[in-house]
């Protein structure tokens, strides 16, 4: 991600992009950034699970089995199939738990997904490889600064780019951070 941001900044500098109208050509539109369900009164819900639909690039928040909010998201750079090996660029599939959080993540904030589980470790061991780890739900950029306020707060790349994590905009990450508790179940579907 650092390379992408540095590349983007280099393009902006190289071409002398100094106004918001020109910059907008390089960033997803506000419509592309929107979540599919707009308003939730978080005080009235108790999130019991998250569901990730890799093929649809959607992360859903559920309360008592009902979807209360849906977020657009991005995946690992090689998203098809279950993660089996460190560095394969795949996002795992299956049932996990959000077991801890990092307020100082390289990608804004992050919620850790309990990959690898016992089955993931066993399959990697039989092949003599590392299953990998540090799979998170995280934001899309650490730097919220910039001369025009906070242009990266709602930013999310148009393509998959992580090493296997689930990435949302920093704005959406703040909402998840406030409302999803450690111990919440997460299921990741193909």
**Calculated CA dihedral for residues 171, 54, 122, 106, nearest 10 degrees:** -20
* Structural domain total, the chain: 1
Would you state the structure tokens that stand for residue 131, as one six-digit string? 């299953």
- Identify the pLDDT of residue 115: 97
Does residue 27 lie within any of the structural domains?
no
Structural domain boundaries, residue 88: 44-189
Active site amino acids? 138, 165
CATH number of the domain encompassing residue 149: 2.40.440.10
Is there a domain that residue 18 lies in?
A: no
| 62 located within any domain | yes
- Residue numbers in the chain where pLDDT is lower than 50: 1-19, 22-23, 25-26, 37, 146-149
Rounded CA separation 76/39 (Å): 28
Tell me if 109 is assigned to some domain. yes
For the entire predicted model, the pTM comes to: 0.77
Q: Is residue 76 part of a domain?
A: yes
Is the distance from CB of 163 to CB of 86 less than 8 angstroms?
Answer: no
| Neighbouring C-beta atoms of residue 21, cutoff 10 Å | 7
pLDDT at 43: 84
- CA distances to 4, 12, 26, 145, 166 from 7, rounded to whole Å, are 5, 9, 12, 17, 22
Q: Confirm whether 106 is domain-assigned.
A: yes
- Cβ-contact 51, 189 below 8 angstroms: yes
Look at residue 143 in the predicted model and tell me its pLDDT: 64
For CA atoms 185, 53, 172, 113, the dihedral sign is positive
pLDDT at 38: 57
Residue 19 lies in a domain: no
Q: Is residue 170 part of a domain?
A: yes
């Amino acid at each position: 991600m650092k390379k992408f941001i540095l590349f983007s900044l280099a393009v902006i500098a190289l071409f002398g992009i100094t106004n918001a109208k020109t910059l907008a050509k390089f960033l997803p539109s506000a419509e592309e950034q929107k979540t599919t369900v707009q308003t939730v009164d978080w005080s009235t819900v108790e999130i019991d699970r998250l569901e990730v639909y890799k093929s649809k690039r959607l992360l859903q928040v559920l309360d008592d089995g009902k979807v209360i909010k849906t977020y657009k998201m991005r995946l690992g750079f090689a998203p098809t199939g279950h993660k089996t090996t460190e560095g394969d660029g795949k996002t795992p599939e299956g049932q996990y738990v959000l077991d801890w959080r990092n307020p100082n993540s390289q990608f804004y904030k992050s919620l850790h997904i309990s990959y690898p589980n016992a089955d993931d470790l066993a399959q990697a061991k039989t092949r003599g490889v590392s299953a990998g780890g540090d799979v998170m739900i995280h934001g899309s950029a650490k730097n919220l600064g910039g001369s025009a306020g906070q242009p990266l707060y709602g930013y999310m790349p148009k393509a998959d780019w992580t090493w296997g994590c689930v990435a949302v905009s920093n704005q959406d990450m703040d909402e998840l951070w406030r409302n999803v508790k450690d111990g919440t179940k997460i299921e990741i579907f193909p």
